[in-house]
Amino acid sequence: MTQTAHPDSVLIIDFGSQVTQLIARRVREAGVYCEIVPFQSAEEGFARLKPKAVILSGSPASTLDEGSPRAPQVIFDSGLPIFGICYGQQTMCMQLGGKVEDGHHREFGRAFLEIDEECALFEGLWSSGSRHQVWMSHGDRVTAIPPGFKVVATSANAPFAFIADEKRKYYAVQFHPEVVHTPDGAKLIGNFVHNIAGIKGDWTMSAYRAKAVQQIRDQVGDKKVICALSGGVDSSVAALLIHEAVGDNLTCILVDHGLMRKDEAANVVAMFKEHYNLHLIHVDAVDRFVGELEGVSDPETKRKIIGRLFIETFEEEAKKLGGAEFLGQGTLYPDVIESVSFTGGPSVTIKSHHNVGGLPERMNMKLVEPLRELFKDEVRVLGRELGLPDSFIGRHPFPGPGLAIRCPGGVTREKLDILREADAIYLDEIRKAGLYDAIWQAFAVLLPVQTVGVMGDGRTYEFVCALRAVTSVDGMTADFYHYDMEFLGRAATRIINEVRGINRVVYDVTSKPPGTIEWE
């Protein structure tokens, strides 16, 4: 399903910042639909989306470098409100007649904004003479503002920290309002989309559901669809949405590839057959997948093998059904962002995703991806809209490649079995402690390391198990969950005592900036 124009939307032009996705989250939190496009294709995205406002992101680049990113002139000619953030401010100034100098006055981290002038963007939020915390991350800085602009706020190292041309509805800031370290940043962005751009903020999951169902019907017609159902929230919501659109023309296929959590396949089959009127086929492909993965250590190679085998399996099942023209997938917006950097966009590619990148020509099928515009938390809201129970909606995310990427190094059946048991015990302890809903994702990892240990009177040489638990809202950024030592001791003791093959357990306390929170 291709992305189409929304009647009231915001276009975010990405110059390569690792927090551009957070701008999108803040806009959507304000009830407004938005899309991110790389600067190279911004003109095409502008024409397609027909937005009511434009936001320019930050960037690791310098506007002073030859060939550095620029916003397309069409947005300045459009008469629409524009909000430039960090690099976005600098390129606005450069393109509209101002000046930028190189990094003699770098500013990183917490800073304080002094409000010098009243501004329409401050309505109900800030007033002249007040002081507010913001988050800076810049080397270059603006040294002369374009004609028509005025300075409305400054910081210690940024004399043009907040500038505005109220007549043209142009606003530009040197700091990052999208990050949590700018406490009032989300409200500033909300003021921009509501008060300045005049967008109502009525983009809801109910409206999205109706639009998505109609788009699926328009795309599919009376043709058959097969849907990759893993039992996770994403694929389940996608399946229910497609089923609402095409009814019995949908067949769901659960590929049991041997990389699922303990008893996962059986539980998913039971749930969907008992509670939902979906045609579901359970394919036992354990030998096929695990056989090809054995000994493979590179995570990208694992993903590619799994993606290829998924496609081959679906192709075979489609033929058994007499042919299906469409393949439904639970691809999310972060999958697209992280996998391909928008096909040549400025951001660093974070990971490949087995759902992203299209299908081989021989398959002669078209993709139906009704969640491709949504973040993870939005999918959960849509799931509730579709009637999925909270107990299911709140399940921790589980990646398509499953345990294969939670088993760094060479994959073997024995290691997968060891990991599956350790993971089940870990999640059981989390549930018993009442922590499951407080954690966004938790899982065990079997490290490619064996250590000497003594258990009782015997010497062991077994694997190290790492435990991860993170808090997150949208799956784009994450911080580790702060367990107490009593819980960790209890979980580790059970794993060591009950799982043969593990003699040591460690806890991963890595926080994650925007990007994958999986272990690979």
489 annotated ligand binder: no
330 annotated ligand binder: no
- What tokens were used for 75? 């947005």
CB 232, CB 240: distance < 8 Å: no
CA 413 to chain centre: 30
Of 210, 273, 260, residue with least CA distance to 399: 260
CB 283, CB 257: distance < 8 Å: no
34 is catalytic: no
86 is catalytic: yes
Give me the catalytic one of 6, 34, 35, 86: 86
234 annotated ligand binder: yes
DSSP helix/strand/coil, 402: helix
417 annotated ligand binder: no
423 annotated ligand binder: no
176 is catalytic: yes
CB 129, CB 176: distance < 8 Å: no
Which region holds residue 221: left if phi is over 0, alpha if psi is between -120 and 50, else beta? Answer: left
Q: How far is CA 496 from CA 23, 261, 321, 428, 462, in A?
A: 43, 19, 46, 15, 10
Compute the residue count for the chain: 520
DSSP secondary structure letter of residue 336: H
User: What is the amino acid identity at position 435?
Assistant: L
Give me the catalytic one of 176, 257, 353, 396: 176
**What DSSP element (H or E) covers 20?**
helix 20-29
DSSP helix/strand/coil, 177: coil
| Dihedral angle of Cα 24, 30, 31, 32, to the nearest 10 degrees | -50
237 annotated ligand binder: no
Cα–Cα dist 296/355, whole Å: 20
Give me the catalytic one of 35, 119, 138, 178: 178
59 annotated ligand binder: no
Pick out the residues of the known binding site: 230-236
Task: List, by residue number, the catalytic residues.
Answer: 86, 176, 178
Pick out the residues of the known binding site for ATP: 230-236
